[in-house]
Each structure stands twice: as C-alpha cells, then as structure tokens.
Structure 1
C-alpha cells in the first residue's frame, strides 16, 4: 500500500469516528517530514482519543506499523506518526489556534474518498 492509499484508509478511520473537517495535504513538495499530513478534529477529548484508537486499529488490520503516537493522554493534539503519513488529531479549540492548513498553505489538498468529507 502506497502512502496515498494509506491517507485514504486513515481518513476513513477518522470519518468512522465522526471526525470533523478532515483534510489531507500533499507535503512531498514542501517538506521532508512526511509525504502527507492528515488533519482532523474532534469536539471533546474522548472523541479525539477514539479517532486516534480507530487509526491505530485500522493500521493494525492493514499490517501497517504505527511508529509513534504522541499526546494521547491529554487528547488536545494527538500526533500519529506512520513514517510517510503524519496524522494530526486536534481538539476543536486547538485546531483553530494552530491552524496547520494555513501554516502549510503551500501544500496541495488531496481529495478524500469518504462519505463524511462534506460535514
């Protein structure tokens, strides 16, 4: 599975837990950190943790190793590192504050194939 397919799988896991405003950015031309960033948010700490768990379970089922997960206990900004894809799961208040989409404004948005993407 290539990194673009992995982004779609992660987006579906986020959508299954009703993550809001799921955005994928193609970082290949703007950063050496990862090929893609996936950014979403939940409305409370419990939902943010549920989204992170869903990503981990989805990756385990696909036999993809989660390199690292940071911020799970506080659930204000959880970073899930999958090497070529980095997923940022925010609490809605933190997302507005950090505004990664603006920070990485040079990155191209990736169209996601999920039903809830229009939420």
Structure 2
C-alpha cells in the first residue's frame, strides 16, 4: 500500500512592510527638535543657522525650561527622536543638574537652559550674526 505523503505547504513568510525611515537633513532635524521642545512646553525656542559661521556645528537649538525635570524630559525626547532618525548623540553635558543640558548631535547642538543660565550665557548675543530659522507648528 502506497503511503500518500501529504504535501506540506510551506507557509510563505508574511511580507512585512517596514516603514522606511525618512532621512532628515540637519536643518530638518533641528526644526523638528525645536518643535519637540515647544511641544514639551519650553519657552523662547530658537534655531540658529550657524552654517559657515561655526567650524563645529551647523545649527543650534536654544530653549528655556522651567525646571530641571523639564529640561531632562525635553533632552530625553529629543534624544529619542534623534535615534529614530539616525541622529545619535555624540556628547551630552549638564543632564544631572538640569540647569543647562547640552546634546551634541554633531551637525545640530541642542541647548536647554533654565531661565537664569540662559540669560547669563546669552548664546543669541554671542551668535548674533546667525540667521534665526522660523519654527512653524
């Protein structure tokens, strides 16, 4: 008696459609990060275009937080956004104190200050010849 072999159907691998990560330019990343700071209730958020003015970076984001907890939360949110868009943090400073948190993404540097530190260091005055980019919601 001939044994019938059941045809084993190999289940075809389900085609998964991964959403392609849209690669952002440094400018697009800077504006998106500034919007995150605004969304997280930072005030006086500005993006300075330092292209051709600084050998170290192309964009500064400057924002003011109201507490050390808020500045750390904003930094965490921007860092996470950066990871998702292939912008990794090269350096971080001031996170523990939360008075001036700096995130260095190389082409974009994020500064999140408390009000006193922002007034004291006044980066907008220091980089007064930089163009301020418009942040639209």
Q: TM-score, normalised by structure 2?
A: 0.79
Name whichever structure is richer in helix by fraction.
1
* Larger Rg belongs to: 2
Match of 2:45 among 6, 18, 22: 22
Q: Aligned pair 1:51/2:74, yes or no? A: yes
> Aligned pairs, how many?
114
The corresponding residue for 2:111 is 88
Unaligned 5+ segments in structure 1 are 115-119
Q: TM-score, normalised by structure 1?
A: 0.90
Give 4+ residue runs of structure 1 displaced > 6 Å after superposition.
none
Q: Which has the higher contact order (CA 8 A, sep 6+)?
A: 1
Specify the SS of the correspondent of 1:18. Answer: coil
Match of 1:99 among 122, 126, 129: 122
Partner Cα distance (1:72, 1:49) in 2: 6
Match of 2:88 among 65, 76, 86: 65
Name whichever structure is richer in strand by fraction.
1
Partner Cα distance (2:85, 2:59) in 1: 18
